[in-house]
């Protein structure tokens, strides 16, 4: 099939390369000429596991083209995926200006039927807006037909390729059979698993067959916002529990484990820490609250999810102050800058927010991240960037672990101990093994974990 993907960012590039991998002929359009040039030169504009292999294979097979010219994309295919950014406006509403502009342009450029597919995360009823916009701006063309479908993307950065090729579900929101048939054809190799997995890492054992859910457009749009908000709620829930654990000397990891065995709850997204970030959860939560309120629904529940999330950084900074006392003039090592491991994405990263707080209090920050430092250097010049995790800790009064990269678990603890002025670790992701770290002579503070491994008695024993 011929497929056009507009927007070649974290989603669009994965979508384009994966569609090429499973046999389609893809044109990727982006209005950033630098990004397109980078891709044409066989380089990736950001880090994502497996993407390099996919890029070289798609380029070698001639199944992908990268262009800045939207007209070329429109001409290539009747199936056009929107993977444009939908960043938050100052009030929290999603900025749909790119989506609107590209819809207008496509309407004017099209000479034949087009199915525009929203893959960007958009508020419910956006598809209807796109349809109307295209109707208006295609007037001069006369009888060109359009459909607009919703096909939200659930991939997570860091595992995006596996997520796209082995999704839990593919959601399709369509208004007629023609649109449904096109999307079913595009996804058939994934649903039927007829493609060959030829990537470096094996497919995780928990990936089974993908379900395709076909519904109307409004429902599909809602599924994405409702899913992300629910996951964000799970994280804030366990973070609220972790604060209680801190107060009573309980262990949030065991509490989460005990909850997670219940199949109605499940173990995922129950990791306490300094909270969620990235380009999806914070903005999708805001946009969902906004669209709900616009439609007369008070979503106080989700406001609380946001409040807990913001508070986690305050709580963590309090812990740092409690341990380090005065931050001014101290050297603080930071492990991890990206908003989560296996990506170099710094958008809305809790680590960066924490670092800004440390700098504002006069601390000197020495940071290390396996992938995100080139990008961070552009925006956070006050930070000293180290060549390795051990280097970052050299001469530090405390080490803060803020992104759970697996390599941080492999650092030689004796060497780390020797390099630090004070062997103190504050683990904002509960990533290290407290027992092992303490046994190596460190002071260790996690999130919702008993201090020094011993359970404290409850602050107040209930009477009655
Ligand atoms: N990042 C994720 O993990 C993820 C997961 C699922 C869904 N989403 C959603 O997918 C959408 C895209 O997210 P992303 O992370 O890929 O964003 P991104 O910022 O990485 O990519 C957007 C791309 O669109 C391009 N673009 C902007 N305006 C354009 C125009 N007029 N013409 C052509 N290209 C244009 C930009 O140059 C950029 O490359 C968002 O709505 C996001 O919420 C993101």
* pLDDT reading at 28 higher than 60: yes
Ligand 1 pocket member 342 (CB < 6 A): no
Ligand 1 pocket test, pick from 82, 117, 157, 279 with the greatest ligand atom count within 8 Å of Cβ, gives 279
Q: Both 160 and 75 in a single domain? A: yes
* pLDDT reading at 340 higher than 80: yes
Ligand 1 pocket member 65 (CB < 6 A): no
Q: Is residue 462 part of a domain?
A: no
Name the least confident of 20-29, 139-148, 298-307, 411-420. 139-148
The residue whose CA is least distant from atom 37 of ligand 1 is 32
Q: Give the model confidence (pLDDT) of 290-320 as tens digits.
A: 999 999 999 999 999 999 999 999 999 999 9
Q: Do 394 and 368 touch, CB atoms closer than 8 A?
A: no
pLDDT for res 454: 55
pTM of the model: 0.95
Q: Is residue 366 part of a domain?
A: yes
Ligand 1 pocket member 31 (CB < 6 A): yes
Q: Is residue 459 part of a domain?
A: no
Q: Both 102 and 250 in a single domain? A: no
Q: Is residue 460 part of a domain?
A: no
* pLDDT reading at 284 higher than 50: yes
CA distances (Å), origin 326, targets 317, 318, 319, 362 = 12, 11, 12, 9
Residues with Cβ < 8 Å from 250, sequence gap 6 or more?
244, 448, 450, 455
pLDDT band of residue 464 (cuts 50, 70, 90) is very low
Q: Both 18 and 138 in a single domain? A: yes
Ligand 1 pocket member 434 (CB < 6 A): no
* pLDDT reading at 17 higher than 50: yes
Of 191, 215, 239, the position where a domain reaches its end is 215
Q: Is 14 exposed, middle or buried (0-12, 13-18, 19+ CB in 10 A)?
A: buried
Of 189, 215, 241, the position where a domain reaches its end is 215
Tokens of 182: 């096109």
Show the domain range for 32.
2-215
* pLDDT reading at 94 higher than 50: yes
Q: Both 179 and 241 in a single domain? A: no
Q: Is residue 139 part of a domain?
A: yes
Q: Both 211 and 315 in a single domain? A: no
CA of 393 to the centre of ligand 1 (A): 35
pLDDT band of residue 458 (cuts 50, 70, 90) is very low
Residues catalogued as catalytic: 280
Ligand 1 pocket member 347 (CB < 6 A): no
Q: Is residue 461 part of a domain?
A: no
Average pLDDT, the chain: 95
What is the position in ligand 1's atom list of the atom closest to the CA of 32? 37
What is the position in ligand 1's atom list of the atom closest to the CA of 29? 33
Q: Both 141 and 265 in a single domain? A: no
Q: Both 22 and 83 in a single domain? A: yes
E strands, 336-397, in order: 364-368, 384-385
pLDDT for res 459: 52
* pLDDT reading at 462 higher than 50: no
Rounded-to-integer distance, Cα 3 and Cα 346, Å: 30
pLDDT for res 261: 98
Q: Both 243 and 206 in a single domain? A: no
pLDDT for res 322: 97
Rounded-to-integer distance, Cα 51 and Cα 199, Å: 9
Q: Both 210 and 282 in a single domain? A: no
**What interhelical angle do 300-324 and 281-294 show, nearest 10?**
150
H/E element holding 233?
A: helix 217-248
* pLDDT reading at 460 higher than 70: no
**378: CATH:** 3.40.50.720
The 10 Å Cβ neighbour count of residue 344 is 21
Q: How many domains does the chain have?
A: 2
What is the position in ligand 1's atom list of the atom closest to the CA of 8? 39
Q: Is residue 65 part of a domain?
A: yes
What is the position in ligand 1's atom list of the atom closest to the CA of 105? 31
CA of 266 to the centre of ligand 1 (A): 30
Of 215, 242, 258, the position where a domain reaches its end is 215
Q: Both 239 and 200 in a single domain? A: no
CA of 279 to the centre of ligand 1 (A): 9
DSSP code of 335?
E
Backbone angles phi, psi at 148, to 5 degrees: -125, 125
Q: Both 236 and 127 in a single domain? A: no
Ligand 1 pocket member 357 (CB < 6 A): no
Ligand 1 pocket test, pick from 34, 35, 49, 85 with the greatest ligand atom count within 8 Å of Cβ, gives 85
What is the position in ligand 1's atom list of the atom closest to the CA of 279? 1
pLDDT for res 206: 85
Tokens of 282: 């914070």
Q: Both 176 and 259 in a single domain? A: no
Q: Give the model confidence (pLDDT) of 399-454 as tens digits.
A: 999 999 999 999 999 999 999 999 999 999 999 999 999 999 999 999 999 986 65
Q: Do 448 and 241 touch, CB atoms closer than 8 A?
A: yes
CA of 119 to the centre of ligand 1 (A): 9
Q: Is residue 220 part of a domain?
A: no
pLDDT for res 140: 83
Q: What average pLDDT does this structure show over 124-148?
A: 93
Q: Give the model confidence (pLDDT) of 199-247 as tens digits.
A: 888 888 888 789 999 999 999 999 999 999 999 999 999 999 999 999 9
- In what order do the strands lie in the sheet containing 384-385? 384-385, 364-368, 331-335, 398-401, 424-427, 443-445
């Amino acid at each position: 099939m011929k497929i056009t993907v507009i927007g070649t960012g974290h989603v669009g590039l994965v979508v384009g390369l994966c569609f090429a991998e499973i046999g389609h002929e893809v044109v990727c359009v982006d209005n950033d000429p630098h990004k397109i040039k980078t891709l044409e030169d066989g380089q990736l504009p950001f880090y994502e596991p497996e993407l390099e292999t996919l890029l070289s294979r798609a380029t070698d097979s001639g199944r992908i083209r990268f262009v800045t010219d939207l007209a070329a994309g429109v001409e290539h295919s009747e199936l056009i995926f929107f993977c444009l950014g939908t960043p938050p406006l100052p009030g929290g509403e999603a900025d749909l200006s790119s989506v609107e502009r590209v819809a207008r342009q496509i309407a004017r450029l099209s000479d034949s039927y087009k199915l525009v597919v929203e893959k960007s995360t958009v508020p419910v009823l956006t598809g209807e807006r796109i349809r109307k916009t295209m109707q208006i701006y295609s007037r001069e063309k006369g009888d060109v037909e359009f459909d607009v479908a919703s096909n939200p993307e659930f991939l997570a950065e860091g595992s995006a390729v596996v997520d796209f090729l082995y999704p839990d579900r593919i959601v399709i929101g369509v208004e007629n059979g023609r649109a449904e048939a096109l999307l079913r054809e595009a996804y058939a190799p994934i649903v039927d698993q007829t493609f060959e997995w030829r990537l470096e890492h094996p497919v995780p054992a928990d990936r089974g067959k993908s379900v395709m859910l076909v519904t109307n457009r409004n429902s599909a749009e809602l599924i994405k916002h409702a899913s992300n908000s629910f996951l964000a709620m799970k994280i804030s829930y366990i973070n609220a529990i972790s604060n209680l654990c801190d107060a009573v000397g309980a262990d949030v990891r065991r509490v989460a484990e005990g909850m997670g065995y219940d199949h109605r709850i499940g173990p995922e997204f129950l990791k306490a820490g300094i909270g969620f970030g990235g380009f999806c959860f914070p903005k999708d939560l805001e946009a969902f609250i906004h669209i709900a309120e616009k439609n007369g629904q008070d979503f106080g529940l989700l406001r609380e999810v946001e409040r807990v999330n913001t508070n986690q950084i305050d709580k963590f900074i309090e812990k740092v102050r409690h341990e380090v006392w005065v931050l001014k003039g101290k050297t603080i090592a930071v492990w991890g800058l990206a908003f989560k491991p296996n990506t170099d994405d710094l958008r809305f990263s809790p680590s960066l927010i924490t670092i800004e707080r440390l700098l504002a209090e006069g601390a000197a920050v020495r940071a290390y991240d396996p992938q995100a430092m080139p990008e961070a250097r552009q925006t956070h010049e006050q930070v000293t960037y180290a060549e390795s995790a051990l280097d970052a800790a050299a001469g530090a009064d405390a080490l803060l672990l803020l992104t759970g990269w697996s390599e941080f678990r492999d650092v030689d603890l004796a060497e780390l101990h020797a390099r630090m002025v004070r062997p103190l670790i504050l683990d904002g992701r509960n990533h290290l093994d407290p027992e092992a770290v303490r046994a190596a002579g460190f002071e260790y503070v996690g999130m919702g974990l008993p201090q020094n491994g011993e359970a404290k008695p409850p602050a107040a024993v209930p009477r009655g």
